[in-house]
């Protein structure tokens, strides 16, 4: 019940394409859903986050779609660029606080030039 | 100023040795974490720690122990290192509350056990 399932494990798209990464959770106590981006040799860094009271959030070319009834959320990258090539992690934090954030397994994205 | 800094960045050591990785954060956060990232990039939490509670992932061998001299530091001590301990270890920090719980990560320590 504490897991966050992320797919696909890896993804290759052409420049300008729209990669989509999906995550699903079971625990209804989760109420904060961040996405982290990790470049090689660096630690993960927060990219964008959403709370379940909204169905969509956009920041630049990055969009989170959230389906509360299905307990699923996804990251879309519009007009993807080679510089977006990185590993992306979804995560979920319960309403008891950030102390118990759970990460998905990660998706390695490669954007071809 | 680095928000979360960990040292060393690289650590190569022999099996059976004991080693420590240090972590410091200057963000005023009350919670710190250690994560292990394996060669497939899976990010697995090892410990969550604040001044109230230590949460240990039950899959972590007891050869691993967190040590916190104060709120800004959480070091990771590893006894009797094994080949399978080779990985990148990340320290992170955040607020434990229910508001903005963004986690800030350090640059990682690449541990290689030979």
The model's pLDDT over A49-86, given as tens digits with 9 standing for 90+, comes to 999 899 999 999 999 999 999 999 999 999 999 999 99
- Give the nearest chain A residue to B5 (CA atoms): A43
Q: Does A88 touch chain B if contact means CB atoms closer than 8 Å?
A: no
Residue B99 pLDDT: 59
- Can you give the residue range of the structural domain that contains A72? 4-112
**DSSP assignment, residue B84?**
G
Q: Does A19 touch chain B if contact means CB atoms closer than 8 Å?
A: no
pLDDT for residue B26 is more than 60: yes
3-state DSSP assignment of residue A98: helix
* Domain CATH for A19: 2.60.40.10
- Give the nearest chain B residue to A92 (CA atoms): B101
Q: How many domains does chain A have?
A: 1
Q: Which residue has the higher pLDDT, A87 or A101?
A: A87
Report which secondary-structure segment, H or E, holds B91.
strand B87-94
Topology at the third CATH level for domain B4-96+105-113: Immunoglobulin-like (2.60.40)
Q: State the smallest CA–CA distance between residue B89 and chain A in angstroms.
A: 10
Q: What six digits make up the tokens of A28?
A: 């209804």
Answer whether A34 sits within 8 Å of B31, measured CB to CB: no
Q: State the smallest CA–CA distance between residue A17 and chain B in angstroms.
A: 24
């Amino acid at each position: 019940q504490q897991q966050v399932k992320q797919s696909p494990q890896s993804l290759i798209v052409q420049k300008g394409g729209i990669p989509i990464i999906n995550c699903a959770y079971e625990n209804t106590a989760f109420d904060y859903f961040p996405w982290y981006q990790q470049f090689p040799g660096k630690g993960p860094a927060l990219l964008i986050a959403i709370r379940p009271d909204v169905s969509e959030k956009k920041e630049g070319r990055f969009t989170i779609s959230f389906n509360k009834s299905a307990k699923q959320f996804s990251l879309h990258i519009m007009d993807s660029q080679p510089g977006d090539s990185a590993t992306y992690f979804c995560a979920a934090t319960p309403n008891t606080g950030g102390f118990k954030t759970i990460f998905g397994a990660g998706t390695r994205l490669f954007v071809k030039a | 100023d680095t928000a979360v800094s960990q040292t060393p960045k690289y650590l190569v050591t022999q099996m059976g040795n004991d080693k420590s990785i240090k972590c410091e954060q200057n963000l005023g956060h009350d919670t710190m974490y250690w994560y292990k990232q394996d060669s497939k990039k899976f990010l697995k939490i090892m410990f969550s720690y604040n001044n109230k509670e230590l949460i240990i992932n039950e899959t972590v061998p007891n050869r691993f122990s967190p040590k916190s001299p104060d709120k800004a530091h959480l070091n990771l001590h590893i006894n009797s290192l094994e080949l399978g301990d080779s990985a990148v270890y990340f320290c992170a920090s955040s607020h434990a509350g229910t508001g903005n719980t963004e986690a800030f990560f350090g640059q990682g320590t690449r541990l290689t056990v030979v």
